[in-house]
Structure 1
């Protein structure tokens, strides 16, 4: 989808971004067909890959999550 929008060119992208949603817009109509929104990739895999490779995210065991929240909030939970 990104490649398809990029192929519109910078001028057309700028025109699309600056346009109001309610006015007639031939460029928006060009990309606003059902094919544009049909994502071929598996969204679960894309999301999973994004989260696994995000530099600011890491997986923790369940009990460690509360410890990290306590550090962030400066508040001690008692029931976990």
Structure 2
């Protein structure tokens, strides 16, 4: 928990956003975000979130495809 004299530092960065939806993995690169320098937590503007949803839900043609290895974690 932050004390009153601590200040959260956010830096404007381009990040990679990933989303798993209906068994598919979507990766969107170069997404503008404010990133907490200490924790790495990412914050997106409402307009950015709307644009991300639009890209994924409208079925926009991706720039390219890549293969991703998938592992099953067995305890």
Larger RCO (CA within 8 A; separation ≥ 6): 2
Structure with larger Rg: 1
Q: Above 0.5 in TM-score?
A: no
Q: What's the TM-score, normalizing by structure 1?
A: 0.27
Q: What's the TM-score, normalizing by structure 2?
A: 0.28
Kindly indicate which of the two structures has a greater share of residues assigned to helix.
Answer: 1
